[in-house]
Amino acid sequence: MKIGELANVAQCTVETVRYYEKEGLLPEPARTPGNFRVYGPRHLERLRFIRNCRALDMSHEEIHTLLGLADQPADGCGAINAVFDQHIAHVEARIQELLHLKQQLGALRERCQIEQAVDACGILHGLAAMETEAKPERHTHLG
């Protein structure tokens, strides 16, 4: 199948397919004599795998690792479990950050309970007076 057909079946864009190829996540396809890309079932399966990983918010590095492990079918799945355990830890760290953010936003929202002039708005005053917290150093793919 051609790139447009692959993208359509995998429910993504042609640009996504090309990007995953460029990133080395999707293997380069065969080419016709007219230099058109020709994709097969293996490409579709791999593209769906990549898209499912992305839907789980996995980084390209994690996906590369999983694909490399998937290409070694005789090995045990301990390394796959380790990738998932690490990703779960990343998700938990992000949840904690989002809960903290929610708390900060709620505290700011509490500062403005009634309709008033903008220059008296507690939210705007709170934002202006708020001390920016130093971001903790992360050891995850969250950056």
> What pLDDT digit, counting tens, does each position of 13-39 carry?
999 999 999 999 999 899 999 999 999
The structure tokens listed for 123 are 């939210």
Taking the C-alpha atoms of residue 30 and residue 8, their distance in angstroms, rounded to an integer, is 19
Nearby residues of 6 by Cβ (< 8 Å), 6 or more positions away = 17, 39, 43, 44, 47
CATH number for the region 3-55 comes to 1.10.1660.10
Q: Report the pLDDT value the prediction gives residue 99, as an integer from 0 to 100.
A: 97
Q: Report the pLDDT value the prediction gives residue 7, as an integer from 0 to 100.
A: 95
In the three-class reduction of DSSP (H, G, I as helix; E, B as strand; rest coil), residue 113 is classed as: coil
- How far from the centroid of its chain's Cα atoms is residue 126's Cα? 32
Q: Report the pLDDT value the prediction gives residue 143, as an integer from 0 to 100.
A: 52
Per-residue pLDDT of the chain (143 residues; tens, 9 = 90+): 999 999 999 999 999 999 999 999 999 899 999 999 999 999 999 999 999 999 999 999 999 999 999 989 888 899 999 999 999 999 999 999 999 999 999 999 998 878 888 888 989 999 998 887 766 666 556 55
Q: Report the pLDDT value the prediction gives residue 141, as an integer from 0 to 100.
A: 60
Averaged pLDDT score across all residues of the chain: 90
Cα separation of the two ends of the chain: 37
Q: Where are the domains of the chain?
A: 3-55, 59-143
Global pTM exceeds 0.85: no
